A and B are shown apart, each in its own frame.
Chain A
Amino acid sequence: MVSAKEVQLLVLSCLIFALPSTGDRPGKPENLSCIAVQEERYISPNITCVWEAAGRQTGFVPTTYTLNVRSNIGMYNVSTREKSATVSVGLFPNHETLDIWVEAHNTLGKVESEHLKEEANWFVKTNPPSDVRVISERTFPTSLLINWAHPIDEVYVKLTYEIRFCPSGSQNWTYVPLVDTAKGIQSFRLQNLQPDTVYVTQVRCKNAIERGYWSNWSTNATERTPEDRPRSKPDLWKIITEDESTARQVWFICKDPVLSNGRIIRFDIKIQDHKDRVKNRSGELESIPVNRSKADPSPSQQKITILKQISLDDKKSVEVYVTAVNSVGKSPEASLVITEKVNELPTVKDLKVQRNGGQLCLEWKPPARPVSEYVVEWVSGSRIDWQREKGSTKNTVIKGSLEKFVSYTVSVYPLYSGVTGKPASKEAFLEEGVPLIGPAVKLKGKPGCNEAELVWNEIPQHSRRGFITNYTIFYTSGTKTHNITVPANTTSYTLKSLSRSTKYDTWVIASTIRGSKRGFNHSFTTLKYGTGEIEGIVVGVCLSFLFVVLLTMLLCIYKKDVIKDNFWPRIPNPGESTIGNWSPDYPLKTETPKENCLSGISVLDVDVCDGKCGSEDDKASLPLKKDKYLSEEHSSGIGGSSCMSSPRQSVSDSDEGGDMADTTASTVQYSSVVASSNGYKGQTPNFQPQQAIFSRSESTQPLLDSEENPDMLLQEGSRQSQHFSRQPSFTHTAGNEDSADPADFNQLEMEQQVLEPLDFCPLEEETTPTDGQSADGLPAALVSSYMPQLGGYRPQ
């Protein structure tokens, strides 16, 4: 049995072991390194050392480090809690062996680091070499001599040096191998440099004996190598433009040789006809001076010199030779051949230009004929550049600096031993962007009612910033916006199905793969009437009006009587009323009573008064009216019986029909003379079949005495008829006035003449001469003022 006490002890011991201890022995310092730097002409007596402390450090048991340095002449140390310390040895013991170590100790123990037992100069870091100078010698254009001074006397530290150099502006240093720089040297000659090139040189040093610290690099020493004659050919090229004539305009251009080795001061050019060359005749040499600055141009910014321009006939070929000259000498000769246009050598196939990683990559298939060299050319506006590629190349990258959003025409020219072949070209952008400006749209001509033709100009090349993929046309009348997309090769479009007399707002946007740019708005209003519509309408209206006028005129002409009767009814003029005489025995003429005839004899018109005529007299008189008849039956009108023989035609002639009826309907017909079979029996028997003259007034007034007395009437009638014949007048007033022409006069005369022979038949049946009708219808009137009408009165 384990007692409780034992268990307690067991637990306590476990706790003691489990709990972390409050302190440990110090860890051994590791990676001890020391340095002594130069001060003025000597090495500083202060030696600074750093180390790493291994193990765990706790605040309860701090560790103290003691840096110890032992030399031949003494022992020096310094203590610290840090992991670095500086100890002063009084006088730096150059060439002596130093023993350096670190002791770490705390209350729990002490531990030493590894001893650094090395020559004292191993810990030395001197200043960089001073007074570094670079000397250029004209006789050595590819060499520079570097001189410097020891930073410290060699008796203290023997130094070894390291040299590096690079062309000015470049960060690619070239290091001279250490084996090439002997110990303690103070000069060195750089070789295999580029002539006429500025080089930057630096030198540093350290203890020559194995270990030590390199000093810092010295300050830059800069110098330009001397000039040498150009060692490579100038890069000769050409620009050819074709005009309307048969000649080509050729500009010969070139870049400085890659190995110019100096500032080019002139180019010597010789242009020779190809035939002359065959005949061994050389062309004239021409010198073209150039002005270059002393500053080195970077390879990507080589200046292009225009040498000469010539006009070359399409059927001619030339050879050009160019050399570049600097202050030392001439370059090798560059040549170029331009053949006749028809003899242009074959070009490459399937040229592709693509963007890749911020560069333009070209790929092509070589022609069948072997190519000695390719020239890749890129042109933008007035700027041109080119690069050369080997004849075996099938793809390359444009090495020149290209700008974004600029259109380049990239061409590949095959060269066949200096003879230029036909190029293959493509347009390309290094990077496409959104166009700078949008297309300016405007109307072409005038808009119509339902359509309008829009035109716009292509965006200028320098503002496009990419390939235009399409144009989108927008137009709106304010309510709804429509859009139409058209191909990029389109610059016009006709909008259709527009509303009349509506204002439209339109704009066009040009799109590339990067985005779109909107152009300015353009507004227009469609017409209300189309071309010719107004004229058509006007013409139509005019024609219609004319037609109406004509129709009206015709109507007026043909229906003038109706119009006349309706608008200007004929009102008999009592003052012009006449009494006409007729004879019942007189054969009736088939004359139609005229309008202007004396209407002293009137006949009841049944038609006129259909419903109104109810009297029997009227009815009895109806048949009389309708037909021409020669009978002597007439009805009499108001104011007594009056008979009217019917030698004359009744007024209401059936032939005349309604016209006459209409004509006479306006006249007062109030009597008709009914003649007996025995003829008219007048009151006074007259055995002489003389014509009875009957006159009757058309007025509604009672018959006058004169009228009632036929004898008197006959005389009067003859006189009146004569009078009437002399003075044709009309009972109608207004209506007749219009027709007062000679024809009517003649008619009247004829009627009068007709009227004249008409006599009243004396009434014989009537017993009393006073009764009954007078021969002229007035017998009754002779007796009395009124005679009973036989025929009845037809009221008007």
Chain B
Amino acid sequence: MNGHVKSMHFQQFMEPAATLLSLLLVMAVDSTRTVSASRNPGCNSLQQTLKLTRLVEKESVDLIKTYKVSQGEMSELFCKVSVNDVPDSNISGLEPSEWIVSIFTHLQAFFPHFKRVYEQQTDLQSPTSPLLAELTTVSTRSRSLAAFISSFYQGLFPNLPVPEPAGGPTTLPPPKNVFQQKVYGCVVLKTYKEFLSNVSQKLRTLKPKVCRRRMQINTLFFF
């Protein structure tokens, strides 16, 4: 067998190989989207959580506007007053496993305050006031968000214990006068909005890791 024939065989092999390689490359590039969406439950969960966080954040912004409008004059000042016993908006923990839990816990902490604000505003507003509907909406979505956070955490850290809802009743401030109630309600909503913004930021930091990691795995698989 002469070398010419051998080179011919090699050339004949190279063409289909190149074609196959190109095809694989295209599939790999296309898979970054689909894989991240459909074949990566964690990524999907993260994306859903992110969307819901943005949704709740947006609704909380609208809620604050509605709240201010419904409180009458000097409503701008209400949110600038500091109030004790309102959860802060910061998220603790450095690791994702820690601050995800922190997010979940904080969310849970806001629920009683939502309820208190709703009760107070029920006395202050008419039954058909949009403030009450929006308060209900934000509260309901927040519960959904909490469930999403929990599900995301479980999916991301299946081996870690499931974060438990906050035990015991949250310490609510004592009943106040109307002004104080108005201030209280504005502070709660404002703090919640800031909290959600922090949550959104935190979750976005996870996206490259959670969604890209799977893509890297798939890419390695193809090669």
Chain A interfacial positions (CB closer than 8 Å to B): 71-73, 90-91, 93-97, 119, 153, 155-156, 158, 209
A91 touches B148 (CB 8 A): no
Query: In the complex, what residues of B have CB within 8 A of residue A94's CB?
Result: 51-52, 55
Q: A90-B140, A95-B48 are in contact. Are A73 and B147 (CB under 8 A)?
A: yes
- With known contacts A91-B140, A96-B48, A119-B48, A72–B147 Cβ distance under 8 A: yes
For the complex of A and B, list the 5 residue pairs with the smallest distance between their C-beta atoms, beginning with the closest: A95-B51, A155-B58, A72-B147, A155-B55, A95-B52
The answer for the CA separation of A153 and B137 in the assembled complex, in Å, is 15
Q: Could you mark each residue 125-145 of chain B with 1 if its beta carbon is under 8 Å from any beta carbon of chain A, else 0?
A: 000000000001100110110
Bound Cα distance from A746 to B58, whole angstroms: 177
| A262 to B151 Cα, complex, angstroms | 63
Residue of B nearest to A94 (CB): B55
- Decide: B144 and A93 in contact? CB cutoff 8 A: yes
Q: Are the CB atoms of A73 and B143 closer together than 8 Å?
A: yes
Contacts beyond the supplied A72-B144, A72-B147: 17 A-B pairs with Cβ under 8 Å: A71-B144, A73-B140, A73-B144, A90-B140, A91-B136, A91-B137, A91-B141, A93-B144, A94-B55, A95-B48, A95-B52, A96-B48, A97-B48, A153-B58, A155-B57, A155-B58, A158-B51
Chain A residue at smallest Cβ distance from B38: A210
Give B52's nearest chain A residue, CB to CB: A95
Q: How many residue pairs bridge A and B at CB < 8 Å?
A: 38
- Is the pair B144, A156 in contact by a Cβ cutoff of 8 Å? no
23 contacts between A and B (CB under 8 A): A72-B151, A73-B143, A73-B147, A90-B140, A91-B136, A91-B140, A91-B141, A93-B144, A94-B52, A94-B55, A95-B51, A95-B55, A96-B52, A96-B144, A97-B48, A119-B48, A155-B51, A155-B54, A155-B57, A155-B59, A156-B55, A158-B51, A209-B37
In the complex, the chain A residue whose C-beta lies closest to that of B47 is A95
Q: Closest CB-CB distance, A92 to chain B, in whole Å?
A: 10
CB distance from B59 to the nearest CB of A (A): 8
Interface residues on B, range: 10 to 19
Whole-angstrom distance between the alpha carbons of A94 and B49 in the complex?
11
- B157, chain A: closest CB distance, angstroms: 19
Q: Determine the chain A residues whose CB is within 8 A of the CB of B148 once the complex forms.
A: 72, 96
**Closest residue to A95 on the B side, CB-wise?**
B51
Main secondary structure of the interface of A (DSSP, over half): loop
For B59, B140, B144, the residue with the greatest tally of chain A CB atoms inside 10 Å of its CB is: B144
In the complex, which residues of chain B have a beta carbon less than 8 angstroms from the beta carbon of A91?
136-137, 140-141
For the complex, would chain B's binding face be called helix, strand, loop or mixed by DSSP majority? helix
In the assembled complex, the CB of A632 is this many whole angstroms from the nearest CB of chain B, namely 185
Contacts of A153 in B (CB 8 A): 58
B residues 53-84 in Cβ contact with A at 8 Å = 54-55, 57-59
Distance from B153 Cβ to chain A, minimum over Cβ atoms (Å): 14
- Report chain B residues within 8 Å CB of A72: 144, 147-148, 151
Q: Shortest Cβ distance from A341 into chain B, in angstroms? A: 70
Q: How far is the CB of B52 from chain A (nearest CB, A)?
A: 5
Which of chain B's residues have a CB closer than 8 A to the CB of A96? 48, 52, 144, 148
A90 to B151, CA, bound (A): 22
* B50 to A, closest residue via Cβ: A95
Of all chain B residues, the one with the shortest Cβ separation from A96 is B144
- Determine the distance from Cα of A91 to Cα of B138 in the docked complex, in whole angstroms: 10
For residue B140, which residues in chain A have a CB less than 8 angstroms away from its CB? 73, 90-91
B37 to chain A, nearest CB (A): 8
Q: Which residues of the other chain, A, contact B58 by a CB distance below 8 angstroms?
A: 153, 155
Residues of B with C-beta under 8 A to A209 = 37
**A156 to B, closest residue via Cβ:** B55
Distance of A522 from chain B, by nearest CB (Å): 91
Q: Using CB atoms, name the residue of chain B closest to A97.
A: B48
Whole-angstrom distance from the CB of A219 to the nearest CB of chain B? 27
State how many angstroms separate the Cβ of B156 from the closest Cβ of chain A: 17
How near does chain B come to A402, taking the closest CB pair, in angstroms?
Answer: 56
Chain B residues with CB under 8 Å of A158's CB are 51
Of residues A73, A90, A209, which shows the largest number of chain B Cβ atoms within 10 Å of its Cβ?
Answer: A73
Interface centre among B37, B48, B58, B151 (most CB of A within 10 A): B48
Which interface residue of A119, A155, A156, A158 has the most chain B CB atoms within 10 A?
A: A155
List the A residue with the shortest CB-CB distance to B150. A72
Once bound together, how far apart are the Cα atoms of A73 and B151, in whole Å? 13
Contact partners of A71 in chain B: CB under 8 A:
144
Closest-by-CB residue of B relative to A42 is B137
What separation, in Å, do the CA atoms of A119 and B137 have in the docked complex? 19
CB 8 Å contact bits of B22-62 with A (1 = contact, 0 = none): 00000000000000010000000000100110110111000
Least distance between A710 CB and chain B CB atoms (Å): 192
A94 CB to nearest chain B CB (Å): 6
Give B37's nearest chain A residue, CB to CB: A209
Taking CB atoms, residues of chain B closer than 8 Å to A90 are 140
Best-buried of A93, A96, A158, A209 by chain B (most CB within 10 Å):
A96
Please name the residue on chain A nearest to B141 by beta carbon. Answer: A91
Closest to B140 in A: A91
Residues of chain A contacted by B143 (CB below 8 angstroms): 73
A contact residues around B48 at 8 Å (CB): 95-97, 119
User: Considering the chains assembled together, what is the distance between the CA atoms of A153 and B55 in angstroms?
Assistant: 9
A94 and B51 CA atoms in complex are apart in Å by 9
In the bound complex, residues from chain B placing their C-beta under 8 Å from that of A73 are 140, 143-144, 147
Q: Shortest distance in angstroms between B146's beta carbon and chain A's nearest beta carbon?
A: 9
Q: Which A residue's beta carbon lies closest to that of B59?
A: A155
> Measured between alpha carbons, how far is A95 from B58 in the docked complex, in Å?
14
| A95 partner residues in chain B, CB cutoff 8 A | 48, 51-52, 55
Contacting A at CB under 8 A, from B100-149, are 136-137, 140-141, 143-144, 147-148
A97 — which chain B residues lie within 8 A by C-beta?
A: 48
Distance to closest chain A CB from B66 (angstroms): 12
A110 to chain B, nearest CB (A): 29
**Least CB distance, B104 to chain A, in whole angstroms:** 14
Least CB distance from A125 to B in Å reads: 19
Q: CA–CA, A158 to B151, complex, Å?
A: 23
Cα A72 to Cα B146 with chains together (Å) = 10
Q: Among the interface residues A72, A119, A158, A209, which one has the most CB atoms of the partner chain B within 10 A? A: A72
Complex Cα spacing A226 to B179, Å:
61
Complex CA gap A428/B71 in Å reads: 86
List residues of chain B with CB within 8 A of the CB of A93: 144
Given the complex, which residues of B lie within 8 Å of A119, measured CB to CB?
Answer: 48
Interfacial chain A residues near B147, Cβ < 8 Å: 72-73
A94 to B148, CA, bound (A): 12
**Which chain A residues lie closer than 8 Å to B137 at the CB level?**
91
A206 to B48, CA, bound (A): 18
In the complex, per-residue mask of B193-206: 1 if CB is within 8 Å of any chain A CB, else 0:
00000000000000
A654–B48 alpha-carbon span in the complex (Å): 177
Note all chain A residues with C-beta closer than 8 A to B51.
Answer: 94-95, 155, 158
A602 CB to closest chain B CB (Å) equals 174
CB distance from B116 to the nearest CB of A (A): 20
A94 to B144 alpha-carbon distance, docked (Å):
10
Give the shortest distance, in Å, between B56 (CB) and chain A (any CB).
Answer: 9
Give the distance in Å from the alpha carbon of A207 to the alpha carbon of B76 in the complex: 37
C-alpha gap A119/B38 in the complex (Å)? 12
Q: Smallest Cβ distance from A83 to chain B, in angstroms?
A: 31
A73 to B52, CA, bound (A): 13
Complex Cα gap A91–B139 (Å): 11
- Alpha-carbon gap, A95 to B137, bound state (A): 15
Q: Which residue of B lies closest to A158 (CB)?
A: B51
Give complex CA distance A73, B136 in Å: 14
Cα(A97)–Cα(B144), bound, Å: 11
Residues of chain A lying within 8 A (CB to CB) of residue B54: 155
Docked CA distance A96–B47 (Å): 11
Residue of B whose beta carbon sits closest to that of A209: B37
Bound together, the chains give a CA A791 to CA B151 distance in angstroms of 197
Within the assembled complex, what's the spacing in Å between the Cα atoms of A72 and B141? 10
Q: Tell me the complex Cα distance, A209–B48, Å.
A: 12
In Å, the complex CA distance between A90 and B136 comes to 10
Bound form: Cα–Cα A550–B57 in Å = 149
